[in-house]
Amino acid sequence: MDISAVILASGKGRRMKIESKKQFINLNGVPVFMYSVNKFLTIPEIKEVILVINEEDRKAIEKLLPGGKVRIVTGGERRQDSSLNGIKAARYDYVAIHDAARPNFKIATFKKMIEGLKNNDCVVPYVDAKDTVRYDKDGLKTLNRSNVKLIQTPQIFKRDKIAKALEMIARENITDDMEAYLKSYDNYKLVNGDRENIKITTMDDFTFISSIMKTDSLRTGFGYDSHYLKEGNGIILGGINIDCKYSVIAHSDGDVVLHSLIDALLGATGSPDIGDLFPDTEDWTINISSVEMLNKVTKQIGIFKVKNVDITIILDRPKLNENKIKIKSNIAKYLGIESDRVSVKAKTAEGRNSEKKIEVYTQVLINYYN
């Protein structure tokens, strides 16, 4: 199933009472809207991401987006106008409309929603009301909370139907897209959402979601790689060219350090391993740069922040000496972290075929926000 993701990021956020718009403030070091962008980019059914913004924010946002993967559309005066602008720009039969101010939606919930599309043209997540609910008009009236559903985003619709529904209520004001849909259609499904998928509306919301995403995000990953050596004119380790009498026997450029690092990151995020993503049976991976591989992986796995990298390289020859410092600096640069968060150690294998082989072990500790 092919789906266009439409992220609404053109709101003013006046209730936050801060100068920055809520969708652009940093949440644990990452702009709020980027959590949704990166999550959608990791979902195979999402074929494009459309970010709906105020035109005045375009230049600042373009600097943050991964090149060529996200299209920007200008929003409208009201939320429903912005939704319609995003829908009209969509290329696929289904659209997932999402508030940029909800950075903590769960991919597992989204997968359940996709399943619901088999027999429905609208699938929306909700949570039940836990507190007593009273309606304050002409005196307080207590509502039966078992009949109250708190509606969340993302909401998935058949594109042509939600477009028509929004056009039909152009003169009305609505609070979400399902409200417009239900005025024209009755084919829908509700799925259980997640209570932590809150919308950031006030500073209290921001503080709460920041705490949730910080405490539940620590992950560790372990990576290992090895390659045999042959006579040659140099090897690449950690992106550093090292002159020596050896070359690596490999399908790619044979950078054992980066391969081990990539597998550690993939392990920490529960992703497929490096062999699945870059199979040596494919022509396009012949002599592929390991730096390019690392860049692809870091964009694919979503939002993460590296806390620590510990790398151990096992070989007798060539001696790494000052190249360890260069590798350490390179790794820090690739990951966008301080060099004191990276350790690179070299050990000998005590003569056990170590002039014929390089082995690398890597341990990572990351904050993962998907």
Q: What is the C-alpha separation between 99 and 225, in angstroms, rounded?
A: 41
Q: What is the C-alpha separation between 334 and 326, in angstroms, rounded?
A: 12
pLDDT reported for residue 11: 73
pLDDT reported for residue 215: 64
Q: What is the C-alpha separation between 218 and 268, in angstroms, rounded?
A: 9
pLDDT reported for residue 25: 87
**Residue in the block written with tokens 């190249």:** 323
- End-to-end, the C-alpha distance of the chain in Å comes to 22
> 50, 58 in Cβ contact below 8 A?
no
Domains, the chain, with CATH or none? 3-215 (3.90.550.10), 218-368 (3.30.1330.50)
pLDDT digits (tens, 9 = 90+) for 303-323: 788 999 999 999 988 889 889
Q: Across 57-66, 135-144, 314-323, 335-344, which has the greatest mean pLDDT?
A: 335-344
pLDDT reported for residue 350: 76
Q: What is the C-alpha separation between 42 and 65, in angstroms, rounded?
A: 14
**Cα–chain center distance at 190:** 25
pLDDT reported for residue 292: 95
pLDDT reading at 16 higher than 70: no
Give the rounded percent of residues in the chain with a pLDDT score beyond 70. 94
In this prediction, residue 18 has a pLDDT band, given cuts at 50, 70 and 90, of low
Q: Sheet harboring 304-314: ordered strands across? A: 246-248, 218-231, 357-368, 304-314, 342-347
Residues that constitute the known binding site for a divalent metal cation: 225, 227, 259
The four Cα atoms 285, 287, 290, 295 give a dihedral, to 10 degrees, of -50
Nearest to 61 by CA among 2, 4, 113, 21: 21
pLDDT reported for residue 306: 92
pLDDT reported for residue 368: 82
Least confident span in 64-68, 81-85, 116-120, 204-208: 64-68
For residues 69 and 36, the model is more confident at 36
Q: What is the C-alpha separation between 344 and 366, in angstroms, rounded?
A: 17
Interval 316-339 mean pLDDT = 92
Interval 96-102 mean pLDDT = 97
pLDDT reading at 96 higher than 60: yes
Q: What is the C-alpha separation between 286 and 96, in angstroms, rounded?
A: 37
Q: What is the C-alpha separation between 85 and 180, in angstroms, rounded?
A: 15
Nearest to 326 by CA among 340, 308, 344: 344
For residues 107 and 69, the model is more confident at 107
Nearest to 7 by CA among 45, 46, 43, 53: 53
**Cα–chain center distance at 194:** 18
**Cα–chain center distance at 362:** 23
Supply 200's token pair.
């950031």
In this prediction, residue 67 has a pLDDT band, given cuts at 50, 70 and 90, of low
Report helix, strand or coil for 246. strand
Question: Nearest 5 degrees, angle CA 271-CA 157-CA 151?
Answer: 85
Residues that constitute the known binding site: 225-227, 251-252, 259, 273-275, 278-282
Q: Which residues of 275-309 are buried (b: 16+ CB within 10 A; e: fewer)?
A: eebbeeeeeeeeebebbebbeebbebbbbbebeeb
pLDDT reading at 128 higher than 90: yes
**Average pLDDT of the chain to the nearest whole number:** 90
Q: Where are the alpha helices (DSSP H) in 282-322?
A: 290-300
pLDDT reading at 294 higher than 60: yes
Interval 54-81 mean pLDDT = 89
* CA-based torsion, 201, 202, 208, 209: positive or negative: positive
pLDDT reported for residue 47: 95
**Residue in the block written with tokens 């992220």:** 7
* CA-based torsion, 288, 272, 256, 291: positive or negative: positive
pLDDT reported for residue 205: 92
Beta bridge partners of 360: 225, 313
